[in-house]
A and B are shown apart, each in its own frame.
Chain A
Amino acid sequence: MTEPASSLLAPDRVADGQAKVARVVAGLRRAIVGKEQVIDEVVTALLARGHVLLEGLPGLGKTELVKALSRLLSLDVRRIQFTPDLLPTDVTGSHILQERDGRRDFVFHAGPIFTNLLLADEINRASPKTQAALLEAMQERRVTTFGETRALPAPFFVLATQNPIELEGTYPLPEAQLDRFMFKVDVAGVEASVLEEILVTRVHGEPPPLEPVLTSADLFDLFAIVDAVHLPRGVAGYIARLVAASHPASPDAPEAVKTFVKYGSSPRAAISIGVAARGLALLQGKPSVGFDDVRRVAPPAMAHRLVLDYAARLEGWDGRRVVAALLEAVSEVERGLPRTLDAR
């Protein structure tokens, strides 16, 4: 169901959608303590039907977050522990010679990718060949084996995790695959007060039992609401200028981009920012996207899509810092204030 783009969502529809999302967020916050920003970003990507790459040290609750999400949404969840010897067919499934009705025939045995929520744990430990098996599934939401193409169940999300420190024996994700993740979410450590809360409330660290808060129909309704969130032209122009300025050849590119970025973000990044900003607007109960939503979703949506120069590594710049410089340099409004006026 798609709302007409020429009008805003009705206030009760927005309130209804926000309430549903709020239930998911509340459940996740019960399961994962002290990770409000990570939860918001993951839920935003979920509403935008985008895949998420979670990067963080072991033991920070990445896997637990995915599990909690699957329980709250009553979705089918599968987990693949990526290892160097994992084969593509271990992901996608394969045809197996099987005797049936007195005949031997190749029967397709679906792999773990045929699920709603795929937890790709430590995705950078698999070989590039296996990582590439995810490419078609993530973008097209279908799998082709032996010339046969099969659609993946809807909804289909990939939540992948990777460890940023144990780089030996890993295969960094290629840019093409990184581009297919809507967000790359950095999972940082927790504060002492959060740790104290965890120690007091959870004896063995297990999360509290969670009940599903959304049905599959609710989820699709949410998707429809997100699609109907209005994206004003002014905000769309801001997204376009932001992505265009991420290219070092752009005349509007800031100095940090010209110095440290080799290749800028793709148009897919602009699309991701737009739809993610819609999701975030709904999360905040707004019928339309604003500049503030774009500013919030731009770092997780753009940082991993920038191909940085070696100089960036030497100078200690990462994608997030470049995006911060980009946000600082690119004006939200196409035509700013006169020089003699100053915003308060």
Chain B
Amino acid sequence: MPQPEVATHPAVRRLARRLAVGLFLDRWPVWAGVALLSAGTGALICRMFVPRASPYLPWLWLSPVVAAIPALVVALRRRYRPADLVALADWLGGGHGLLLALFETRDPLWSAPPLVARAAQFGQPRFRLRGVMATLAPAIAFLAIAVLLPQRQPKAAANPALAKQMVADLSAAVAQLAQQQAITPAEEQRLEDEIRQVQQSAERRVDASSWEAADALRQQLASALAAKQDAVRWAHDAVARYAAAAKADGPASANAEARAAELTQALEKLAQAGLAGSKAAQVLRGLEDGTLATDAGNLAELTDALASELGETGGRLAGPGALGAEGGRFDPAEFPTSSDAGPDGDGDPGSGGINRGRGDADLTWGQETKPFDKFKSTPLPPGAARSPDDWTPVVVLPGAPQEDPTLSTSAAARAYADTLGLEAWRRSLAPRHLSAVKKYFGKDHDRDKEP
């Protein structure tokens, strides 16, 4: 059945298009807003937990388009019937009824184009886009913020290369020490176990504690090396002292025996450190058994061989010993022995103060800070209260009352009644109390009371 002519009039068709868009906009902004919010939530989740989805997040801007599809379907299903359309057109044109009548009757006498054109003159409805924008703008902003957020990186994954690099110098040092027989096999095994633990921990997770563990192990190794170096040095010095004593006083002298005891202790410590070579073991055995050569020639030869062996051992330890400095071990050589270049320039180590030389210097006396004599004690007056009878005003403030206390009460009342008193109650009295006050205290009342 063909549509009546009024239903196909251009103005009515334009109205139909606007109504269709209006129906679409009735639903779509809300649905698009929900879609944008959902997309924003999804983007947030991806930003936090799914970094692989990061390249696809811009596609979320298509969510309003997706929401438009069901909105279009709903708008299509709720579209205006021709009768509703013509009724709306008639209503918008002032409600004269001619469009409706022509739609229903299709009367040819009234369907002349000028008449229909006049009847179809109506203002097209306007879109109210402010509400649409108010719905969409927050959702768009939310999605924009979610998409623009920086991608959260997950916890660092296992990094074997980094872990290996972290303990590489330690492993190299231990291997070097083992090759040079600077450490015992047991020590080597223990160090390797600890290095392996640090490495395995770093492979699971690298953080500050991994580096701290490696540093601690490095310092431990440096300390052990330093102890070994000290033992070698002590043994070397003890041999030199024993040799000198034996040469000067004879092996049987008391001094030589004391040095022999020291040498015994030094060699035992060396043996405990695993650094006792064949000569050291021979000398230690001779010292303990008392079978050490007593003639000067053999003794000198033996001590020279021992010193040579200790020197060789000390030389082996010198290379890996640098590890201790790298590990942060305090080395006094790195610091100047005096602080003459300090800002105060007094530079007396040990005399105290933050700028007076090194903190580890021996304390010196005699240049301490002089006693400060500016604050001398001053005796305070006695704390007893004075008599209230002999008080005198310290100061008179500007706002203090200036009445003469010698005036009698009645004289004072006469003097101030006309000014201060009246002014006072005029200013402070509530309006509803004025009449009562006037009644009892006003001038008329006083006049009446006067004889």
Report the interface size class on chain A.
20 to 34
User: A338–B105 contact, CB under 8 A?
Assistant: no
What is the chain A residue whose CB lies nearest that of B108? Answer: A7
Q: How far is the CB of A70 from the nearest CB of chain B, in Å?
A: 32
Within 8 A of A (CB), among B90-120: 90-92, 94-98, 100-105, 107, 109-110
CA distance A281 to B94 in the complex (A): 14
User: A8–B88 contact, CB under 8 A?
Assistant: no
Question: How many contacting A-B pairs (Cβ < 8 A)?
Answer: 116
Known A286-B98, A291-B95, A291-B97: A234·B22 in contact at CB below 8 Å? no
Is B19 close to A, CB under 8 A?
A: yes
Give 6 pairs: A residue, B residue, CB < 8 Å, sorted on A. A6-B105, A235-B100, A290-B100, A332-B91, A332-B95, A337-B88
Is A204 close to B, CB under 8 A?
A: no
What is the chain A residue whose CB lies nearest that of B85? Answer: A335
User: A338–B22 contact, CB under 8 A?
Assistant: yes
Q: Mark A260-296, 1 if CB is under 8 A from B, else 0.
A: 0000000000000000000001000011111111010
Is A129 close to B, CB under 8 A?
A: no
Q: How far is the CB of A333 from the nearest CB of chain B, in Å?
A: 5
Main secondary structure of the interface of B (DSSP, over half): helix
Is B155 close to A, CB under 8 A?
A: no
User: B84–A335 contact, CB under 8 A?
Assistant: yes
List, in ascending order, chain B residues with CB within 8 A of A291's CB.
90-91, 95-97
User: B128–A340 contact, CB under 8 A?
Assistant: yes
Is A342 close to B, CB under 8 A?
A: yes
Instruction: For A338, give its contact among B25, B86, B97 (CB under 8 Å).
Output: B25
Is B244 close to A, CB under 8 A?
A: no
Is B167 close to A, CB under 8 A?
A: no
What is the chain A residue whose CB lies nearest that of B93? Answer: A290
CA distance A52 to B98 in the complex (A): 28
A230-B104, A234-B83 known; 7 new pairs, CB 8 Å cut-off, are: A233-B100, A235-B97, A287-B101, A295-B95, A337-B88, A343-B125, A344-B126
Instruction: For B97, give its contact among A286, A335, A342 (CB under 8 Å).
Output: A286
User: A344–B123 contact, CB under 8 A?
Assistant: yes
9 closest cross-chain pairs (CB), A and B: A290-B97, A291-B95, A288-B101, A338-B22, A232-B100, A344-B123, A341-B125, A340-B25, A8-B107
User: B97–A288 contact, CB under 8 A?
Assistant: yes
Is B23 close to A, CB under 8 A?
A: yes
Is A11 close to B, CB under 8 A?
A: yes
Instruction: For B132, give its contact among A232, A286, A287, A340 (CB under 8 Å).
Output: A340
Instruction: For B101, give its contact among A232, A295, A338 (CB under 8 Å).
Output: A232
Q: Mark B14-38, 1 if CB is under 8 A from A, else 0.
A: 0000110011011001000000000
Known A232-B97, A340-B132, A341-B127: A287·B104 in contact at CB below 8 Å? no
Known A8-B105, A339-B26, A340-B127: A234·B110 in contact at CB below 8 Å? no
User: B126–A288 contact, CB under 8 A?
Assistant: no
List, in ascending order, chain A residues with CB within 8 A of B29's CB.
340
Is A192 close to B, CB under 8 A?
A: no
Instruction: For B123, give its contact among A233, A293, A332, A343 (CB under 8 Å).
Output: A343
What is the chain A residue whose CB lies nearest that of B106? Answer: A7
List, in ascending order, chain A residues with CB within 8 A of B90's CB.
234, 290-291
